[in-house]
C-alpha cells in the first residue's frame, strides 16, 4: 500500500507527465516516418535522457518506443510503407483495407489493439515478471534455434496459395540474410569485394524496397480510373472500436499473450512477435476466405496487439535479470545502470518505488496512445488528399531519404531500387514476399544458434533433441511443417476432378 | 511480367547452384568443424530442391500456358516509360546527389516522375521545390541526417537549426 501511494506520487509529478507527453509526440512522429524505427527513436533519445532523473529518463524511452511501434502502422496502412519492421507483418492487410475505403477501420483497429496489447503486457509485466523471466533463462542456443525455426514455419502459413513458392521465397530470404560477415568466424560471404555488403543487406532498405518501391512500380502503371479509386479518406478511427475489439477479443488476447511471451525471450523482438501472432491467426482461419474483411481485421488486431505487447514483455528479463529482451531494452538497461537503478532481482528490494513506477508508466503511455494516436492518424491522413500523381514522387523521396538515413550510404538507396524490382516480379509470379522478409529477419538468429549448437556438439545432430524444452519445441515445429504439408495434400486431393 | 512456373523453378535452381558454388570456396577456420559455407550450402541445396519441384509441377502446364505473359501496361511505350521512371529516378538520385546536393536532386526527381505522369513543368517544379524544402527541414534539421548540400552549401544555414 505504501508503495502504491509512492508510485502515485511519482506519477502525478508534472515534470514526469510533461516528459511522457513530449516523448509520446516524438515517438509518434519518428515511428510514422518510414525508415525510422522505434530503436532509432530510443537511440536518439539517449543523449537527452542522460540529463534527466532516473524515472523520467526511462519513462521517455518507454513512451517513445511504444508510440513509435504503433505509429509504424500509419504509413503501412496509408502508403504500404511499414514505418517500423514491427508493422511489416500486416502491412498488406492494412493497406488493402485502405484501398477498399476502410482506412479508418484499419488504423483504428491497429491503434486500439496496440493499446490493449500494451496494457495487457503491462499487467503481465507487473504481476508475473519473475516467473516468466525464469522460463526464458532456461533457453539455450538449441531452444532458440527451434523457436526461430518455429517462427519460420509461420512463413508457410502467411505465404500465398503455393506452399512450394512460399518455401522458395523463405529460402531466398534466408539466402539474402547470409550476405555479409559470417556470424561465427567473421568471414565475408557473397560480398564480392563490396565493402558496403560486409555488414549485410540493411533490413530497413530491404523492407522499403520490398513493400514501398514495388507498390510504387504497380501504381505508376495503373490506368487513371484506378488512380482515382485508390484515394479514399481515412474516416472515423474510433467509431465502433469498442464493439470491434470485443468481437475480436480472442485475437487481441492471443496477440497480447504471444507478444508478451515472445518479447520476454531475449533476442526476439516486436517484429518476430507480430509475425508469429499473424501466422497463428491466419492458421486459425483455415477454411475461411483470407481476403474477407473480418479475416483481415482479425489478423491485423492480433499482430497489432502482439508487437506492442512484445515491448512490455521485453522489460521482464530486462528489469528482473538485467538481460535485454531486444535492442531497445539493451539501451534501457545501460541507462538504468548509468542512473543508479541497477536492474536485477534486488531492484524490487532496493528501489521498489522506481521499478513499480516504471511498470506504471506502461499503463499511462498506452492510455495516452489513444488521443495522441488519433491526432497523429488525422494529421498523416491528410496525405490521402494529395493526388496520387503527386503522392508517388513524394513517397519515392521519403523512401530514398528513409533508406539513406538508416545506413548513411547511397548504396542503401540503390538497394531499394533492386529489391523493389525483385519484389514486383515476385508478386507478379505469385511468389509471396512475406516469407522472404521473415527469412531475412530470422536468418541471422537461425544461423547463429544452429552453428553454435553444432559446434558445441561436435557435429552431433542429436543436440537438437536432448533437452526437454528443445524436444517440446521441436515437436511443435516439425509437427506444424508436417501438418502444413498434409493439409496441402488434402486440398490438392479435394481439388482433383473425380473421374466417373 | 508473369513467367511460366518452369522458369520460376529454374530461377531458384540457378540461385541455389550459385550459392553452393560460392559456399564451396568458404573453408572453415582451422579450429572449427563447420565453416561459413555450411549454412549457405544447406540453403542452396534447399533452393535447388524446391526450385526443381516448382519446375516439375510447371511442366504439367507447359503446353497450355505461354512461357512469358506481358502485363497490360507493357504493351505501350508510355507504360514502359512510367514503369522505368521509378528505378530511373532512384538511379538519378544516386548518381548526382553528392555533386548536386539533396535540394536540387530532390526537385529533379519530383520533376522527372511528375513529367512522366503528364504534369506540366509549371506545377511539377514548385511541387518539387516545396517537397525538397520540407524533407530537408525534417531530415536534415530535426533528425540530423547528413544530407549533402552540393552547390547550395552557402544557404544551408537557412534550413538548419
Q: In a mutagenesis test of the A interface, which of B86, B99, B127, B147 is the best target, namely the one with the most A β-carbons within 10 Å?
A: B86
User: Cβ contacts (< 8 Å) between A216 and chain B: which residues?
Assistant: 86
Residue of B nearest to A212 (CA): B86
pLDDT at A116: 92
Mean pLDDT of chain B: 88
Question: What pLDDT does B74 receive?
Answer: 86
**A246-250, A315-319, B3-7: range with lowest mean pLDDT:** A315-319
pLDDT band (50, 70, 90) for residue B42: very high
Determine which of A281-295, B75-89, B111-125 has the lowest per-residue pLDDT on average: A281-295
pLDDT of residue A321: 67
In chain B, the residue whose alpha carbon lies closest to the alpha carbon of A419 is B87
Domain ranges of chain B: 2-69, 76-159
Predicted local distance difference test score (pLDDT) of residue A228 = 45
Report pLDDT for B93: 95
Closest by Cα among A93, A402, A475, A400 to A275: A93
Q: Is the distance from CB of A273 to CB of A306 less than 8 angstroms?
A: yes
The interface predicted TM-score of the complex, written ipTM, equals 0.91
Residue B46 has pLDDT above 90, yes or no: yes
Q: Are A413 and A145 in contact (CB under 8 A)?
A: no
Nearest chain B alpha carbon to A417: B87
Point out the residue among A217, A404, A413 whose CB comes nearest to the CB of B145. A404
- Does B87 contact chain A (CB < 8 Å)? yes
Contacts of A404 in chain B (CB under 8 A): 145, 147
Neighbours of A55 (CB within 10 A): 25
Partners of B22 on chain A (C-beta within 8 Å) are 189-190
pLDDT band of residue A499 (cuts 50, 70, 90) is very low
Query: What would the mean pLDDT of A384-396 be, rounded to a whole number?
Result: 80
Tell whether B122 lies on the interface with A, counting CB pairs under 8 A: no
Residue B138 has pLDDT above 90, yes or no: no
Contact A36 B143 (CB under 8 A): yes
Whether the predicted pLDDT of A155 surpasses 70:
no
What mean pLDDT, rounded, does chain A reach?
80
Give the model's confidence band at A388: pLDDT under 50 very low, under 70 low, under 90 confident, else very high: confident
- Per the model's pLDDT, the better-predicted residue between A212 and B38 turns out to be B38
Looking at residue B102, its pLDDT comes to 92
Partner-chain contact A396 B37, CB within 8 Å: no
Residue B61 · residue B4 · CB < 8 Å: yes
Amino acid at each position: 500500500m505504501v508503495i502504491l501511494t509512492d508510485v502515485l506520487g511519482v506519477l502525478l509529478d508534472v515534470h514526469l507527465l510533461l516528459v511522457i507527453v513530449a516523448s509520446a509526440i516524438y515517438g509518434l512522429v519518428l515511428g510514422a516516418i518510414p525508415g525510422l524505427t522505434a530503436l532509432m527513436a530510443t537511440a536518439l533519445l539517449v543523449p537527452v535522457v542522460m540529463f534527466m532523473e532516473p524515472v523520467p529518463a526511462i519513462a521517455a524511452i518507454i513512451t517513445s518506443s511504444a508510440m513509435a511501434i504503433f505509429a509504424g502502422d500509419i504509413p503501412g496502412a496509408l502508403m504500404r510503407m511499414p514505418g517500423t519492421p514491427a508493422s511489416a507483418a500486416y502491412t498488406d492487410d492494412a493497406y488493402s483495407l485502405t484501398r477498399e475505403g476502410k482506412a479508418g477501420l484499419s488504423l483504428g483497429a491497429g491503434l486500439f489493439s496496440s493499446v490493449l496489447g500494451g496494457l495487457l503486457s503491462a499487467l503481465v509485466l507487473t504481476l508475473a515478471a519473475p516467473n516468466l523471466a525464469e522460463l526464458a533463462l532456461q533457453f539455450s542456443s538449441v531452444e532458440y534455434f527451434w523457436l526461430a525455426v518455429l517462427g519460420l514455419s509461420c512463413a508457410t502459413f502467411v505465404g500465398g496459395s503455393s506452399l512450394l513458392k512460399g518455401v522458395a521465397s523463405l529460402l531466398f530470404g534466408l539466402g539474402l540474410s547470409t550476405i555479409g560477415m559470417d556470424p561465427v568466424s567473421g568471414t565475408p560471404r557473397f560480398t564480392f569485394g563490396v565493402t558496403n555488403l560486409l555488414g549485410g543487406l540493411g533490413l530497413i532498405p530491404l523492407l522499403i524496397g520490398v513493400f514501398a518501391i514495388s507498390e510504387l512500380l504497380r501504381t505508376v502503371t495503373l490506368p487513371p480510373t484506378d488512380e482515382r479509386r485508390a484515394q479514399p479518406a481515412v474516416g472515423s478511427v474510433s467509431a465502433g472500436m469498442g464493439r470491434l475489439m470485443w468481437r475480436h477479443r480472442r485475437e487481441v488476447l492471443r496477440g497480447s499473450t504471444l507478444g508478451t511471451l515472445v518479447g520476454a525471450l531475449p533476442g526476439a523482438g516486436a517484429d518476430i512477435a507480430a509475425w508469429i501472432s499473424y501466422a497463428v491467426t491466419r492458421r486459425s482461419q483455415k477454411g475461411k476466405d483470407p481476403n474477407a474483411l473480418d479475416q483481415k481485421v482479425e489478423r491485423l488486431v492480433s499482430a497489432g496487439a502482439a508487437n506492442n505487447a512484445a515491448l512490455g514483455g521485453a522489460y521482464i528479463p530486462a528489469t528482473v535479470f538485467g538481460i535485454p529482451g531486444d535492442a531497445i531494452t539493451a539501451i534501457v538497461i545501460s541507462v538504468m545502470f548509468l542512473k543508479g537503478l541497477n536492474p536485477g532481482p534486488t531492484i524490487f528490494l532496493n528501489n521498489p518505488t522506481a521499478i513499480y513506477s516504471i511498470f506504471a508508466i506502461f499503463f499511462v503511455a498506452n492510455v495516452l496512445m489513444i488521443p495522441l494516436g488519433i491526432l497523429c492518424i488525422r494529421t498523416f491522413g491528410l496525405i490521402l488528399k494529395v493526388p496520387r500523381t503527386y503522392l508517388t514522387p513524394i513517397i519515392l523521396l521519403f523512401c530514398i531519404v528513409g533508406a539513406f538515413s538508416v545506413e548513411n550510404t547511397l548504396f542503401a538507396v540503390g538497394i531499394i531500387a533492386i529489391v523493389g524490382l525483385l519484389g514486383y516480379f515476385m508478386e507478379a509470379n505469385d511468389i509471396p514476399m512475406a516469407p522472404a522478409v521473415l527469412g531475412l529477419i530470422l536468418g541471422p538468429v537461425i544461423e547463429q544458434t544452429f552453428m553454435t549448437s553444432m559446434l558445441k556438439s561436435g557435429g552431433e545432430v542429436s543436440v537438437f533433441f536432448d533437452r526437454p524444452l528443445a524436444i517440446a519445441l521441436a515437436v511443435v515445429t516439425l509437427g506444424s511443417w508436417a501438418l502444413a504439408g498434409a493439409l496441402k495434400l488434402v486440398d490438392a486431393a479435394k481439388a482433383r476432378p473425380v473421374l466417373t | 511480367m508473369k513467367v511460366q512456373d518452369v522458369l520460376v523453378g529454374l530461377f531458384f535452381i540457378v540461385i541455389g547452384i550459385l550459392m553452393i558454388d560460392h559456399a564451396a570456396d568458404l573453408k572453415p577456420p582451422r579450429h572449427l568443424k563447420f565453416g561459413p559455407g555450411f549454412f549457405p550450402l544447406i540453403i542452396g541445396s534447399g533452393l535447388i530442391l524446391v526450385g526443381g519441384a516448382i519446375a516439375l509441377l510447371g511442366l504439367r502446364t507447359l503446353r497450355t500456358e505461354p512461357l512469358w505473359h506481358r502485363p497490360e501496361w507493357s504493351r505501350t511505350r508510355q507504360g514502359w516509360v512510367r514503369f522505368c521512371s521509378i528505378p530511373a529516378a532512384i538511379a538519378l538520385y544516386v548518381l548526382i546527389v553528392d555533386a548536386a546536393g539533396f535540394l536540387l536532386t530532390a526537385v529533379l526527381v519530383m520533376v522527372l516522375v511528375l513529367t512522366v505522369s503528364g504534369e506540366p513543368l509549371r506545377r511539377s517544379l514548385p511541387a518539387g521545390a516545396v517537397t525538397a524544402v520540407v524533407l530537408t527541414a525534417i531530415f536534415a534539421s530535426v533528425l540530423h541526417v547528413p544530407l549533402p548540400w552540393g552547390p547550395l552549401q552557402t544557404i544551408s544555414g537557412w534550413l538548419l537549426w
